[in-house]
Structure 1
Amino acid sequence: MKNEGGKENNRHSTPGKKEAETLIQTVEDYRREKEILLALSNELTKVREKNDLLHLFKKGIKGLFYISHTIITLIDYKDETYTPFLLDNEGSPIRTHDRYQEMVHSRFSLNEPFIQSVLQASAPISFLLKEVMDLPQSPPFLQVNYEKGVTEILMTKLMKEGKPIGFLHIYTDKPEGFSAEFRSIINGIVPQISGAVSNILKNEELLKEEKEKSFLLDFSSEIAAVRTKDDLARAVHGAFRKLNPSGGFVIRRINEDKHTLSIYVYDMPNVKNRKIIKELENTSFEMNDGLQNRILNSAIPVLLNTEREIRRGITSTYLQYWKQLGIENFVGIRLRNGETNLGILLLDIDEINVRLLKGICAQISIAMANIIANDQVSKTQGEQAFLLDFSKDITRVRTREELQHAIFTVLDKTMHTKLAMIRVLEDDGIHLSAFMYDKSLFTKVKDQFDNMAAHRITVDEPYTAQVLASEEGIMFSVEEEIKSGNDYAGLWRSTGLKNMYALPLRVGDKSIGTIWILANRLSPLLVKGICAQISIAIANIQANEKLLTYKKKLEIENDYLKEQIKTIYNFSEIIGNGEAMQRVYRLISLVADSNTSVLITGETGTGKELVARAIHNASGRKDKLMVKVNCAALPANLIESELFGHERGAFTGATDRRIGKFELANNSTLFLDEIGELPPDAQAKLLRVIQERELERIGGKQTIRLDVRLIAATNRNLDEEVKAGRFRADLYFRLNVFPIHLPPLRERQEDIEPLANFFIQKYTRSTGRKIKSISPKVIQKLRSYTWPGNVRELEHLIERSILLAEDGKIDDLFIPESTGTDKTNPALLLNRSLDEVERSYIIETLKRCGGKISGTGSAADILKIPGNTLHSKMKKLGISKSDYFS
């Protein structure tokens, strides 16, 4: 027989000797296990990436114990699954199995008995595969391993901060392959493996962020060189080839009618059916089709499924085309410049990287806005040049034949259409007769057209009356007019053109006739300009005055376009991409589309009003003005009148009826800032209005129904206010339906530098000072300050520093030495020794200074003690790098 160490027992040994040998073996086993644990622990501390950990499994553990292979899986709590993370592709016996790739890319459910037993186990737990693989809901990888000769699996959970993050799978093809010593060692190194996996994940996330930043920087450089649609298509094509080589993209632009979208640029490398692509190129799609408008109204990318959208009832033809092309999943992102939607970006991908896509789309939107603006300017300038040339030609016209030749030529060459009819008002001011038309347009219905043309009409004829009464003319849809029974519509449809453009011909304020032009689409500026010149030619009066007037009008339009270009980038947004603000953005996106009341809390200066406006602007109420009330600024005797309004004579001084803020915010959003300052009486009345959704003005008897979305904000702790009896609990519960807490600036270290740069850009424009840079020393001081006034204090500090800066560089800041908010709350110091308080304070200061102990902007600088003294205190209090470096 053999013992656990595998040595022969001596049959002739005395009992005492056997006990001594057993004790010696136990001690030897303990010593060996301790050495193995120490060696593996040392190796685990060196792990920085997957290959390091894989090497440890292959060389370290496999070199000491017999196992077939090891893998690590990670838990995804979002969909309650776990997936492969670390695989021994070379050493795994199942790598030749037909289902290997399926196992590598599978997501296994957490809600099945096998993995639940692992989660509930307090130590590594093993299973014989033949006993568990056929149980209900057992994961298929058990069967796959068994089919390749694996007999047993040892599993244990990996933990982080008391929560499972994944599992360690160890396999063997030997019976009873996991000895007690092996289990003990694995149990001993599981915490280090968990830590190593956490470090790998953190490093991978950092690398991913760096790659994203590098990618966006490169993309920004490429976008900066974009001048045309072709440039944009090449830049976007190159970017998305890096992200998803096999996927395609489509950018759709909102058309001039503001109701449809058409393809702007696209790249569909996997689509072979060019006929479908051609049809999509030449089709405009309704904006409010239930899908495109959802994308345009969403501040974040939207992941969509073609089949699911069809089942939802979306009838737009492009979905059917996509289904034919085999596009299953796609992402839609709005392209928005400032407050203006330009269009949408559709990507043939299955996963969303919100941060990266938003960065890409921001760059595309800017480039697209530039191209559109430049195209519009070029188009307008071209049209203006053409109209000026046409006006010169038209002033030389003296006969009807010369005018007809000029009109036919310009319509044919410039607008690619023909003149339907010009009718001129006769001397009686009532009748209009045919003045000019192009017979070739109505060859299919010649007789009918001749009869219509010969017929005199009056200014009271319905369609003529509409045109003469209009300022800019009217566009009639041919199909819609057919349905309404328009006698002329049959003639119009015979031409195959979609719209009839009808405009009045005027000289000054006097109407002289009407012009009718059939076309699919015309430039309003060109049509209007040509009609003005035709009017002059027909009337043959004051050609020079008319030309000067029109030139002045073009100059005004040009100035308007230039002003539009100047202001096209004037938009504001919340600055901050750190983890704390990402949580805020996610909450905003979740609640924006609903009518749920929102309570925004946070210290003064954290940007509560900005968040309120972001929620309103992302909601269905964005087209109406958000009404703001600062509860702290209202005198107690005027609060009720301000909120609910009053009737004339309701009280002394009420000389007129007043509409309250609730009524003003009907069908919109009411933002109640500093809600914690409301006196008790006003709280009770506010609660009633919220509950009943109706109010009566002071002194009034009429009940007014309301549809108001409430957003409240406070820098007070309303829980404490309720306990102290200063705030009504029932009102608090009504307001606190969806709380959003804004982190103070001192908890947003990563956002301080972007915020500082934003304010520098803002105030360099407003002050006229040119600031080229900000020194690293200043950045360090900004990060080490506690910011009791938060973002507002940072803004004012930057404004002051800009005014005091010399040589175009901010190289010093005038930060207050100390503030009331820097002092520790005495309540937090109870039951703590002086050393504990001092140790905590030093650690927090080191964290704020990024671990810098001495020098400018260091912990010693803030604590006003020498660096050597701080080193001594740290040594005395046992403060190491791990305490202030996460």
Structure 2
Amino acid sequence: MKRVKDMDPGLSVPSLASLEQERRILSDLGNDITGVRDKNDLIILFSNRIRSLFYFTHTIVTLIDARDETYTPFLLDHKSSPIRSHAIYPELIKAHFSLNESFIQAALRAEEPISFLLEDIMDQPQSPSFLRANYEAGVKEILMTRLMKEGKPMGFIHIYSDKPNSFSIEFRNVIKGIAPQLSGAVSNIIKNEEIIKKEKEKSLLLDFSNGIATVRTKEELALAVRAVLKKINPPGGFVIRKINEDNTTMSPYAYDLTKTHDPKVIDALEQARYPINDGLQDRVLNSAIPLLFKVDREIQRGITSSYLQYWKTMGFKEIVGIRLRNGETNHGILFLDIQEINVQLLQGICSQISIALANIMANEQINKKQEEQAFLLDFSSDVALVKTKLDLQAAIFRVLDKTMHTQLSMIRIIDEDDYNLSAFMYDETLFETAKTHFAELLANRVTVEDAYTAEVLASEDGIVFNIEEELKTGNTYARLWKTTGLKNMYGLPLRVGNKNIGTIWLLADRLSKLMLKGICAQISIAIANIQANEKLLAYKKQLEVENDYLKEQIKTIYNFSEIIGNGEQMQEVYRLMSLVAGTNTTVLILGETGTGKELIARAIHNASPRNDKLMVKVNCAALPANLIESELFGHERGSFTGAIDRRIGKFELANNSTLFLDEVGELPPEAQAKLLRVIQERELERLGGKQTIKVDVRLIAATNRNLEEEVKAGRFRADLYFRLNVFPINLPPLRERLEDIEPLTHFFVKKYSRNTGRKIRKIAPKVIQQLRSYTWPGNVRELEHLIERSILLTTDGILHDVYIPQNTVTDKQELPHLLNHSLEEVERSYIIEILRRCSGKISGPGSAAEILKIPGNTLHSKLKKLAITKKDYFS
């Protein structure tokens, strides 16, 4: 237990003389304290006055910070403090000590001054470190008194003594009496300091506003910002990053990094481009207040931006980030190496910086655009006169020489296959000293998958390759570039609209990307016009072929807004369709003839991402064997007898769309092998052609054959079967979809009533019974044709009869199965099946007796004889 040295209530009552002395002391102290405005003067005055009357070593005043439940030194008598030479003294005068420990909690609860022996409290859990430091300096006892403001504790008076029991009753009474006046004096000092601080901030912002009003360049902006920040003393300087034109990256714009003068670091800063959405910069841009980042913590969180590692290397531990925002527009970020944040001051400074930055960038942009527009106007005038490749080359050489002495290295154009690139234009004189090496590289085949070409084509504004850096990576082209003596190779995409048509490679020390973008746009249009003129007739022929085919296809398009059938088996088909429609997976549709395989294929295509293009259909059974390859893959002129024109194959027509191979089981073996290669490689060659053509085709195949049996019989390639059988969908025959016969009948009646002009108002009930009792070897197609014929034979608006074939009540495919049973078993199964199809109706129109052509009584007798009950045909 700690020994608390409170006033003993049993002590004698002070004399009148003592009370008068206390009153006089309090009065004198009160008068002196009232006139104090500086906090250091206050504690010295207080200590000197009290020390002249009572003994103690030194005293301090601490203030409570209710926000984080701590208290911190406020008024210090450095001269009298016995611990001023202690190693931790500099830390103690800045430290924040917790209110949540027993020593200070006892002081908070005490209504009067309370004393403690240091040896009793200094080693208790969470005890503040200043207790032991004082004890080590010879201090034995501490007297704690609350300072109150508006009924709440605002701080403490700490009075220390190196003699135990040195705090008398008179001393405690004086301290208790002076505490309210000291509280008021401390409050006044705090308010006065806040007023002085705000005045200084206003003066600083006013001076900065006046200084920044004259800023016109980023160099002047850096000087102005450096001057104002010097007054708040960021130890590591600052950097202003601005948002680049791509709105996805940021780059250093103005900076003052006092910890580095390395030219390589400075050059790297000027070239750097940092993604905005890197997990740190985007947080600053989205925050209305400054954000304080701990560098190590951000690295641990997984932020991989290179500047974090740079900050750590430079020794920065904490960085403040403030967005530079003008109105609703973010222009950039100010980063400071500063630990204490004055939010209002920093926001005021950044508001001025934002305005200046916006003005400078606007002026730069205006001047730059004016220069570029004048230049591009001249170039556009030159290009407008271009008719041939030689004219274009002369115009390009002229304009590139006119701008910053740029040299054209190469223009490559993407071939028709959208894969290979051919040399279109180059300056052979540029590589006089390395002719052999240039010739070797020129002969190399370049494709869109080439690493450097792919990178350029994928970029928005092109790529800058530093020649020295590329030499280190082993770039085979860099040795050739080095011979020109220039520093950088600029690779830019040539585009018409959003389509890449080629690449242009320019050698220079430094180029404006914005200007190059305009030049490339003009060159792209000129090249596209030249190519268009050269290929006009070829494209016209191709369009005629495609137009004829599309017209033919449009004739066969049905309205597939709804597929008829809601039975259990069709629901499973719909489920499979919904699973596969949105993918590029190959689908194999299996089913008997007439089950609607093409209907399902079109529905899958219409529900896929490729539905904006027409599905191309090939009926493999209808193609002559000698024309299948030409039909599928196309042919070049003169590739065989009768090939008088180039023909585009169905695979090319279906590029980026869907190809439906109907009756794929009918393909001959030779065509199967070539089809397999196209599916595997996703590329083809026309008959008689040498060019490889890349295709992106989604395959849907259909057949009424059992492909597994065909593979076993050697009539269908197993590897092709496995390629096609990725996602099989089996369509049930109509005889297994009895519940769908009625809605299908109504659909076809409505359709052919409209087509034929006949108004069918009603369908007789026996018609549905007749249709359900038939086995439908031709499936839905047979039902459709039967309904069409029946409507044409109807004269009174009511469909009384359908003309079902009389000799196909049972499916011939069931005969082998029936041979394994007795006559009675066959008869029993047959009667049950007919009753099921007639929905259990035994006699009357549309009944089982009518279909079996026996009297109803006879059928009743057979039911008893064969033990057929309702549960047999209603199960």
TM-score under structure 1 length normalisation: 0.50
Partner of 1:71: 60
Report matched runs for 1:544-555 at 5 Å: none
Q: 1:332 aligns with which of 302, 305, 321?
A: 321
Shift of 1:324: 1.2
Paired with 2:87 and 2:174, the residues of 1 have a C-alpha distance of 34
Partner of 1:516: 504
Paired with 2:200 and 2:373, the residues of 1 have a C-alpha distance of 47
Residues 412-455 of structure 1: CA deviation (Å, up to 9, x unaligned): 663675435557999xxxx99865323447979634653479x9
Shift of 1:204: 0.9
SS of equivalent residue, structure 2 residue 133:
helix
**Contact 2:383–2:522 (Cα < 8 Å) also in 1:** no
Partner of 1:502: 493
Partner of 1:363: 352
- Residues 499 and 76 (structure 1 numbering): CA distance in 2 closer, same or farther, change over 3 Å? farther
Partner of 2:175: 186
Paired with 1:142 and 1:368, the residues of 2 have a C-alpha distance of 52
Paired with 1:169 and 1:26, the residues of 2 have a C-alpha distance of 27
Residues 71-123 of structure 1: CA deviation (Å, up to 9, x unaligned): 11112223322111111112222222233212212222212221111111111
Aligned: 1:129 with 2:118: yes
Shift of 1:174: 2.9
**Contact 2:493–2:502 (Cα < 8 Å) also in 1:** yes
Partner of 2:154: 165
Paired with 2:435 and 2:349, the residues of 1 have a C-alpha distance of 53
Which amino acid in 1 is paired with 2:118? L
Aligned: 1:528 with 2:521: no
- Residues 112 and 126 (structure 1 numbering): CA distance in 2 closer, same or farther, change over 3 Å? same
Partner of 1:111: 100
Q: Which moved more, 1:294-303 or 1:444-453?
A: 444-453
Shift of 1:130: 2.5
**Contact 2:299–2:308 (Cα < 8 Å) also in 1:** yes
- Residues 534 and 378 (structure 1 numbering): CA distance in 2 closer, same or farther, change over 3 Å? same
Paired with 2:256 and 2:241, the residues of 1 have a C-alpha distance of 12
Which amino acid in 2 is paired with 1:527? K
**Contact 1:71–1:85 (Cα < 8 Å) also in 2:** yes
Shift of 1:322: 1.1
- Residues 112 and 504 (structure 1 numbering): CA distance in 2 closer, same or farther, change over 3 Å? closer
**Contact 2:392–2:526 (Cα < 8 Å) also in 1:** no
Partner of 2:427: 438
- Residues 116 and 409 (structure 1 numbering): CA distance in 2 closer, same or farther, change over 3 Å? farther
**Contact 1:253–1:263 (Cα < 8 Å) also in 2:** yes
- Residues 222 and 286 (structure 1 numbering): CA distance in 2 closer, same or farther, change over 3 Å? same
Shift of 1:504: 5.2
Residues 6-32 of structure 1: CA deviation (Å, up to 9, x unaligned): xxxxxxxxxxxxxxxx99x71111111
Shift of 1:49: 2.7
Partner of 2:609: none
Aligned: 1:408 with 2:397: yes
Paired with 2:170 and 2:459, the residues of 1 have a C-alpha distance of 92
Residues 283-315 of structure 1: CA deviation (Å, up to 9, x unaligned): 211111111111111111001000000111111
Shift of 1:380: 0.8
Which amino acid in 2 is paired with 1:184? N
Paired with 1:334 and 1:389, the residues of 2 have a C-alpha distance of 40
SS of equivalent residue, structure 1 residue 97:
coil
Shift of 1:500: 3.9
Paired with 1:363 and 1:435, the residues of 2 have a C-alpha distance of 52
Partner of 2:292: 303
Partner of 2:332: 343
Partner of 1:450: 442
Partner of 2:142: 153
**Contact 2:290–2:320 (Cα < 8 Å) also in 1:** yes
Partner of 1:671: none
Aligned: 1:95 with 2:95: no
Which amino acid in 1 is paired with 2:57? S
Count of residues paired in the alignment: 495
SS of equivalent residue, structure 1 residue 186:
helix
Partner of 2:240: 251
- Unpaired runs of 5+ in structure 1? 1-21, 480-488, 541-886
SS of equivalent residue, structure 1 residue 357:
helix
Paired with 2:187 and 2:436, the residues of 1 have a C-alpha distance of 78
**Contact 2:494–2:520 (Cα < 8 Å) also in 1:** no
Paired with 1:513 and 1:111, the residues of 2 have a C-alpha distance of 72
- Residues 498 and 295 (structure 1 numbering): CA distance in 2 closer, same or farther, change over 3 Å? farther
Which amino acid in 1 is paired with 2:144? M
**Contact 2:493–2:500 (Cα < 8 Å) also in 1:** no
Paired with 1:531 and 1:499, the residues of 2 have a C-alpha distance of 15
- Residues 126 and 505 (structure 1 numbering): CA distance in 2 closer, same or farther, change over 3 Å? closer
Paired with 1:121 and 1:175, the residues of 2 have a C-alpha distance of 20
**Contact 2:494–2:524 (Cα < 8 Å) also in 1:** no
Which amino acid in 1 is paired with 2:127? S
Aligned: 1:199 with 2:188: yes
Aligned: 1:283 with 2:272: yes
Paired with 1:131 and 1:505, the residues of 2 have a C-alpha distance of 86
TM-score under structure 2 length normalisation: 0.50
- Residues 474 and 173 (structure 1 numbering): CA distance in 2 closer, same or farther, change over 3 Å? closer
Report matched runs for 1:784-823 at 5 Å: none
SS of equivalent residue, structure 1 residue 225:
coil
Report matched runs for 1:476-495 at 5 Å: none
Paired with 1:403 and 1:418, the residues of 2 have a C-alpha distance of 15
Paired with 2:365 and 2:271, the residues of 1 have a C-alpha distance of 21
**Contact 2:234–2:336 (Cα < 8 Å) also in 1:** no
- Residues 462 and 315 (structure 1 numbering): CA distance in 2 closer, same or farther, change over 3 Å? closer
Residues 362-399 of structure 1: CA deviation (Å, up to 9, x unaligned): 10000000010000011111212333455677789999
- Taking only the aligned residue pairs, the percentage that are identical comes to 54
Paired with 1:114 and 1:336, the residues of 2 have a C-alpha distance of 49
SS of equivalent residue, structure 1 residue 243:
coil
Paired with 1:113 and 1:276, the residues of 2 have a C-alpha distance of 53
- Residues 476 and 381 (structure 1 numbering): CA distance in 2 closer, same or farther, change over 3 Å? closer
Partner of 1:83: 72
Which amino acid in 2 is paired with 1:446? F
**Contact 1:383–1:526 (Cα < 8 Å) also in 2:** no
Shift of 1:494: 8.4
- Residues 477 and 425 (structure 1 numbering): CA distance in 2 closer, same or farther, change over 3 Å? closer
SS of equivalent residue, structure 1 residue 289:
coil
Partner of 1:765: none
**Contact 1:124–1:156 (Cα < 8 Å) also in 2:** yes
Shift of 1:147: 2.3
Aligned: 1:353 with 2:342: yes
**Contact 1:478–1:492 (Cα < 8 Å) also in 2:** no
Residues 472-519 of structure 1: CA deviation (Å, up to 9, x unaligned): 99656699xxxxxxxxx997998697874333589xxxx998773458
Shift of 1:36: 1.3
**Contact 2:380–2:522 (Cα < 8 Å) also in 1:** no
Which amino acid in 1 is paired with 2:95? S
Q: Over the residues paired in the alignment, what is the CA RMSD in angstroms?
A: 4.2
Shift of 1:534: 9.0
SS of equivalent residue, structure 2 residue 139:
coil
Aligned: 1:261 with 2:225: no
Report matched runs for 1:485-634 at 5 Å: 500-503=491-494, 516-517=504-505, 523-529=513-519, 532=522
Residues 853-873 of structure 1: CA deviation (Å, up to 9, x unaligned): xxxxxxxxxxxxxxxxxxxxx
Paired with 1:362 and 1:499, the residues of 2 have a C-alpha distance of 38
Between structure 1 and structure 2, the one with the greater Rg is 2
Paired with 2:71 and 2:481, the residues of 1 have a C-alpha distance of 64
- Residues 432 and 177 (structure 1 numbering): CA distance in 2 closer, same or farther, change over 3 Å? closer
- Unpaired runs of 5+ in structure 2? 1-11, 466-474, 483-487, 531-875
Paired with 2:196 and 2:300, the residues of 1 have a C-alpha distance of 40
Which amino acid in 2 is paired with 1:450? L
Paired with 1:192 and 1:132, the residues of 2 have a C-alpha distance of 29
